[in-house]
Chains A and B, each alone.
Chain A
Amino acid sequence: MVIAPEKQFINSPTDPMLPQPYRIERVRRETHDVFTLELRPANGTPVMQFAPGQFNMLYVFGTGESAISISGDPNDTNRLIHTVRAVGTVTNAMQKLKRGDCIGVRGPFGTPWPIVEAEGSDVVIVTGGIGLAPLRPVIYHVLANREKYGRFALLFGARSPRDLLFARELEQWRGHFDFNVEVTLDTASSDWRGNVGVVTTLIPRTQFDARHTVAMICGPEVMMRFTVQELMKRGLTTDQIFVTMERNMKCAVGFCGHCQYGPHFVCKDGPVFPFDRIAGLFGKREI
């Protein structure tokens, strides 16, 4: 099975270097260090369209910019949704913003998940921690177009029950008879009724047809490395596996070179890569 990198993605902001003002409509606390922002254009223009997997540069005025994946429904024309983990100067400032505050948005940037190429195949999403956020648009899309896909599985790993992202939605998704949702934690107390162990341990337990499967992975690089190995043990080839890479992105349009990854710029050539394009770089130290 050969899947070409998807070309038909949205990547044409009018002036990619000019932030558009967006108003915060709602702040939702997801976990102790993760929050979701619902945004609407402050100047009355339509909400930007995006493809699952793309990201925006969010600008906290007076503090700085940060690359944040879009975590909302690609068919939602009313709101632009980002889920953010507060880990640095910009994202910590971002979590102090309130409803009605203004934020700058540049984008959307980057390559999307191969949702069109995956039609007719089983889809397996393997993700951990905040990595579920950039894959949530794929889940919305597949569930809205369920007849176009084969078996659909989400394998999600988190640190502990208090780190479970989108917990309410995970419960809803588990209610779908044609969506296999498996959650595993690194550690839990004995009242937890789900799985405990790393996310890779869920792969041998999951049903999919390896010859006709597209796998999408997002998480820390070491987790992705072992996930790729486990998927290949099940018979997937590198062109059936897609990963999203994270590097320090500044300009987001491939000029500044901050996010260079071997011959690629993650902002422009990624963040979603077919694994066969980066297999030689993956796991290489100091790249």
Chain B
Amino acid sequence: MTIQTLEPILAEHPFFKGLSQEDIALLTGCASNVVFKAGEVIRREGDAANEFYVIRQGKVALEIYTPERGQLMLQTVGAGEIFGWSWLIPPYQWRFDARAVELTRALALDGQCLRNKFEANPRLGYELLKRVAHVFAERLLATRLQLLDVYGNRS
């Protein structure tokens, strides 16, 4: 059995699209393959945020627990998307729970490893930050639309 490197998998993922082979090779050094079973809790609110995930297949729910309403799903993310950005922002703790809704295959990127590489290679760090900022902006827009409760009864 041949061992396949994660480089081509990373290069094919939409989040990393267009990065040079050299950059992909650098990032691959921080990546590992992970699989989560349906229903498996990946991270809980308050856990140390040492990584972020790029989803290859499956679906992950970002959730929050409220005493009044129980466990609530705030958002789902799927193949081609990423989740977890607390590794970028001190105090590096997960703000929400993450749970696999279905069998999910992903790559986990080690946050500490990435931060070290970005300190040494600010160009790549800036490039990645722009991509994460784009995801931030899209999620913020979606959240604001959710807050509008557009399907609620207006009468």
* A interface residues with partner B (beta carbon < 8 Å): 33, 87-88, 128-130, 157-159, 163, 184-190, 192-198, 200-201, 204-205, 219-220, 222-223, 226
- Would B151 and A197 count as touching, CB distance under 8 A? no
- Would B151 and A190 count as touching, CB distance under 8 A? no
Given A189-B71, A190-B99, A196-B73, the answer on whether A129 and B145 have CB atoms closer than 8 Å is no
- Would A219 and B150 count as touching, CB distance under 8 A? yes
Q: Which residue of B lies closest to A131 (CB)?
A: B151
Q: Does B152 lie at the interface of the complex (its beta carbon under 8 Å from any beta carbon of A)?
A: yes
Which of these binds chain A: B17-25, B75-83, B84-92, B106-114?
B75-83
Measured between C-beta atoms, what is the minimum distance from B154 to chain A in Å?
Answer: 7
Q: Does B72 lie at the interface of the complex (its beta carbon under 8 Å from any beta carbon of A)?
A: yes
Where chain A touches its partner, the secondary structure class is: mixed
Report the separation of the CA atoms of residues A188 and B152 in the bound assembly, to the nearest whole angstrom. Answer: 15
Report the separation of the CA atoms of residues A232 and B152 in the bound assembly, to the nearest whole angstrom. Answer: 27
Residues in A whose Cβ lies below 8 Å from that of B142 = 197-198, 200-201
- Would B151 and A158 count as touching, CB distance under 8 A? yes
Report the separation of the CA atoms of residues A219 and B149 in the bound assembly, to the nearest whole angstrom. Answer: 12
- Would A222 and B75 count as touching, CB distance under 8 A? no
Report the separation of the CA atoms of residues A12 and B102 in the bound assembly, to the nearest whole angstrom. Answer: 51
- 1/0 contact string of B125-155 vs chain A (CB within 8 Å): 0000000000000100110011011111111
Q: Does B48 lie at the interface of the complex (its beta carbon under 8 Å from any beta carbon of A)?
A: no
Report the separation of the CA atoms of residues A129 and B79 in the bound assembly, to the nearest whole angstrom. Answer: 26
Measured between C-beta atoms, what is the minimum distance from B60 to chain A in Å?
Answer: 11
Report the separation of the CA atoms of residues A219 and B59 in the bound assembly, to the nearest whole angstrom. Answer: 26
Where chain B touches its partner, the secondary structure class is: mixed
Residues in A whose Cβ lies below 8 Å from that of B155 = 87-88
Given A193-B101, A196-B76, A200-B142, the answer on whether A223 and B150 have CB atoms closer than 8 Å is yes
Q: Which residue of A lies closest to B39 (CB)?
A: A190
Residues in B whose Cβ lies below 8 Å from that of A130 = 151
Q: Which residue of B lies closest to A87 (CB)?
A: B155
Residues in B whose Cβ lies below 8 Å from that of A200 = 142, 145
Residues in B whose Cβ lies below 8 Å from that of A33 = 153
Q: Which residue of B lies closest to A158 (CB)?
A: B151
Residues in B whose Cβ lies below 8 Å from that of A198 = 142, 145-146
Q: Which residue of B lies closest to A195 (CB)?
A: B76
- Would A186 and B149 count as touching, CB distance under 8 A? yes
Measured between C-beta atoms, what is the minimum distance from B118 to chain A in Å?
Answer: 26
Residues in B whose Cβ lies below 8 Å from that of A159 = 149, 151-152
Q: Which residue of B lies closest to A85 (CB)?
A: B153
Measured between C-beta atoms, what is the minimum distance from B131 to chain A in Å?
Answer: 14
Report the separation of the CA atoms of residues A163 and B101 in the bound assembly, to the nearest whole angstrom. Answer: 21
Measured between C-beta atoms, what is the minimum distance from B62 to chain A in Å?
Answer: 8
Measured between C-beta atoms, what is the minimum distance from A153 to chain B in Å?
Answer: 15
Given A198-B142, A223-B145, the answer on whether A157 and B151 have CB atoms closer than 8 Å is yes
Measured between C-beta atoms, what is the minimum distance from A143 to chain B in Å?
Answer: 25
Given A128-B150, A159-B152, A201-B142, the answer on whether A190 and B74 have CB atoms closer than 8 Å is no
- Would A189 and B70 count as touching, CB distance under 8 A? yes
Measured between C-beta atoms, what is the minimum distance from B128 to chain A in Å?
Answer: 20
9 A-B pairs in the complex with CB atoms less than 8 angstroms apart: A87-B153, A128-B151, A130-B151, A163-B151, A186-B149, A188-B72, A193-B102, A196-B76, A222-B148
- Would B80 and A205 count as touching, CB distance under 8 A? yes
Measured between C-beta atoms, what is the minimum distance from B71 to chain A in Å?
Answer: 4
